[in-house]
């Protein structure tokens, strides 16, 4: 994880009853659904998605996912999902996430997902230049 990352995008989810466990807190596996919500909203926001395709120009698969849990979320908590693209390599790219309790700003979890661009045969391909350009402009990277 980056030290004090800058996030230019966030979205929100409210914890629903089936997402909690017997202790009344969000079951750890459900946080990956929240990351997916954040990622898709981020891509939609920068006009890279289309219809049911989170990235319209190429397919991709998750090759790594990691979360560090800091504090629990409970039923009806509103969670702010901060999202940014941390890096784009030759055929992979990584989204970084920070989930916070909206009312207290307390960090709930931090993590990332790394995705690999693929062709129809699931063979890695280079991340398209258009994707790189749009993300770099949104993230305000020096090019």
The number of folded domains in the chain is 1
**C-alpha–C-alpha distance, residues 98 and 108, integer Å:** 8
Mean pLDDT of 5-33: 96
Domain that residue 55 falls in: 9-139
1 assigned to some structural domain = no
Q: Find the angle CA(34)-CA(36)-CA(39) to the nearest 5 degrees.
A: 110
pLDDT digits (tens, 9 = 90+) for 83-104: 999 999 999 999 999 999 999 9
Tell me which residue of 15, 59, 44 sits closest to 134, measured CA to CA. 44
47 assigned to some structural domain = yes
Mean pLDDT of 75-80: 97
**pLDDT at residue 143 tops 90:** no
74 assigned to some structural domain = yes
Ramachandran angles phi, psi of 96, nearest 5°: -110, 140
CATH number at residue 30: 3.10.129.10
The pLDDT value recorded for residue 52 is: 86
4 assigned to some structural domain = no
65 assigned to some structural domain = yes
2 assigned to some structural domain = no
The pLDDT value recorded for residue 20 is: 96
Mean pLDDT of 29-58: 95
Task: Indicate the pTM of the whole model.
Answer: 0.94
**C-alpha–C-alpha distance, residues 50 and 4, integer Å:** 31
pLDDT digits (tens, 9 = 90+) for 106-126: 999 999 999 999 999 999 999
């Amino acid at each position: 994880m980056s030290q004090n990352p800058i996030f230019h995008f966030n979205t929100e989810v409210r914890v629903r009853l089936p997402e909690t466990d017997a202790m009344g807190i969000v079951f750890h596996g459900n946080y990956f659904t929240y990351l997916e919500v954040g990622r898709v909203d981020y891509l939609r926001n920068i006009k890279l998605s289309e219809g049911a395709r989170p990235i319209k120009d190429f397919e991709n698969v998750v090759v790594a996912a990691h979360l560090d849990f800091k504090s629990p979320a409970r039923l009806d908590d509103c969670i702010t999902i901060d999202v940014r693209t941390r890096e784009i390599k030759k055929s992979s790219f990584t989204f970084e996430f920070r989930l916070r309790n909206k009312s207290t700003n307390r960090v709930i979890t931090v993590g990332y997902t790394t995705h690999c661009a693929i062709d129809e045969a699931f063979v890695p391909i280079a991340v398209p230049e258009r994707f790189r350009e749009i993300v770099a402009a949104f993230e305000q990277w020096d090019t």
